[in-house]
Structure 1
Amino acid sequence: MTKPTILRAAELPASTLAELDALFTVLHLPEDEAQIPAFLQRHGAAVTGLALRKTVVDRAMLDALPALEIIASYSAGLDNVDLEAVHARGILVRNSSNILARDVANTAIGLLLAVTRDMVRADAFVRDGSWAGGATYPLGRSVVGMTVGVVGLGAIGMEVASRLQALGAKVAYTGPRPKPVDLPYHASIVDLAAECDAIVLTCPLTEATHHAVDARVLQALGPQGYLINIARGPVVDEDALVAVLGQNGIAGAGLDVFEHEPQVPKALLEHPHVVLTPHLGSGTEETRQAMADNVVDVLAEHFGLRGPRQVPGKAGH
């Protein structure tokens, strides 16, 4: 039987590449963007599946892949995909949001605790001898009893909400529409921010959410409020955030994503009440492998090559 042809536009673990090679005829998208049009002109008509991460999938690429049936994304975000064009052509899209949700949620909680308890500077306080020298470290803020707003109550947002409740926080949320959950709903981010001590961004990047967190939202959050972003950088108007932080307009921020990453504004790098991480929300060995496994499984199941992956159970279970 002839193997289906897939186009790999993602860096994947070696074990995953071996699995793909065993199941499919795999074409590798050139890293040099200048070579891509000619490559697609030669090979695009044969491609029926796409293993994707950051490559932009626009109408021009779709035109070059007329037989494409399915896109399997290694990531949760699909802001690099023209979803309207994809859906119009009947192409299936599958991402990894359910798989990475728990580790990304853990990252959000880590950032919230780091910024409210000032853990980065507290670490330096111990290392530089200040504690041993008799100095007293300032008190932080408690998440217990805080009202924390979740922006986007999808798979990641639900995981964040459950963790916040376990920590003793009260949770509210906003999104395009109310969901069947027992949590207070606010129709706008401004209204949510005005009622919360912190907001956690977990929403996808779309035209509607681009710069959704602007000066109005930050002003509503206020000088005692915290911003946590593990969504996408451009959900936040970074210039507005820099300006508000410079005026002590919010208490602090924990940021895993940035508007023009990996470039980060100097004002954020130098601000004492901002905790920064390098887009590592899903960055654990276990979750990245599970995400890669999902790419293989989604493609294999679509083409009828095998059923769901059998994960061995632990002894005694």
Structure 2
Amino acid sequence: MNDPDASIRLAAFERLRLLAPLHGNALPWSAIQQGFSCGQEHILFASAAQGIFKPRQMQGVLSVKTVVPKPGGRVWYHDQLESDSKLRTATDTLDYAFKGSNPDDTQNRLLRGAMEQQLPLIYFYGVSPGSYEPIFPAYVVEWDHRSLSVKLAPKPLAETATLWTPPNPDERRYALRQVKQRLHQSAFRERVVAAYGGRCALTGLPEVRLVDAAHIIPDGDVERGQPDIRNGICMSKLHHAAYDADLIGIDPDHRIHISERLLEQHDGPMLELGLKALKGQVIRMPREDLMKPDPDRLAVRFERFRKAA
């Protein structure tokens, strides 16, 4: 390892290890732009204007990022994101495009240097407008002037001594499987919660830290369980748990049903007002038709609720 920026990289990784769990791993840009400290220096993680970023305190690149745009001021949804399809077919690396069409651009040469020096980087992968999943360490393992892109390989977090060693093929495949699962879930949550304005569809609870993206069809179902926005409903954590346990059902007309097991119980205001009182109400839905729950999925899931009852 011959990296004059080693101490800064380690400080950046350590800060992200602490920061990411505080935000459910999908970091808002406001958290990323706060940067981190290394000794007496305050250093930025990334730049709003540049996808390939080298802080002024470093000789080599620290991070790359992809952005999910917000077209027309509308919330982003699954089918609009081209990188989703690329992610699904990736097996051991992620593609990342050069800046522009000139391979000799300064920033593109930084990526070539990262490959030659085997530098561990941070990949801020956009999962929704203004929200990023940090993938680190990631390594440039191929630099192609013809396709104007590089291939980035993630690596399982390892001891410091091995951070300047790119992953072998088995490590790449293992790490990417983990990354893909995390990215799908982060993107799914961020987009579903955004589509519902950060409010629980059943109660209107407006605290984003207390709501989840509930799958209508569980993600284990290969045919219907994809992390598509139409396979999700924003619910409070309590109602999400009740929905997963088939104690709450939602029919294809978006009407809420409560299991007899809950209706027969009488124990306090949370049960009476927070659950039982929802019976027969219609959930709040996104304005955009392309973001509303898929009625076919709702029908399949509601049949499961009926059988459980």
TM-score (structure 2 length as normaliser) = 0.27
Q: Highest relative contact order (Cα 8 Å, sep 6+), 1 or 2?
A: 1
Normalization by structure 1: what TM-score?
0.27
